[in-house]
Structure 1
Amino acid sequence: MEEIKVIFRRNVSDYLDELIFVLYENEYFGFKESAKDYVQKIYDFIEYNLPIFPAKQTPEKLSSLGS
């Protein structure tokens, strides 16, 4: 199986890093470490699962918005 490498743009990494503070400050998580773990799970999903996630065909009604 071909290995797929995911590269994060700087603005995506900055957004996800800022998300840690937003989640903690808005009390979605009681500990900053819990918010870090949550964001790490997002990174892991993007890196390992997204490339193998099954593609779906865009419904014809929505095809004007993109594929």
Structure 2
Amino acid sequence: MPKIDPSPEDKAVIQSQIASALRCAYEDTLNEPLPDQFVALLEQLGAQEEASGGIAAPEKPA
């Protein structure tokens, strides 16, 4: 079967349709609140970043 390359305009339309379908499929998920445990982890990471003055390095296992 020969390979058909879509034009740049067709690629843009295809990408737009994919993006729209993904937004539709995941809209409910995007609007769900973050779990409390995840929020706590983000807060902990933020505190580590502030303490180190930048991006927090992962903790090394003992």
Q: Which bracket does the TM-score occupy, shorter chain normalised? A: 0.3 to 0.5
TM-score (norm 2): 0.36
Greater relative contact order, per chain length (Cα 8 Å cut-off, separation 6+): 1
Question: Could you state the TM-score of these two structures normalised by the residue count of structure 1?
Answer: 0.34
Larger radius of gyration: 2
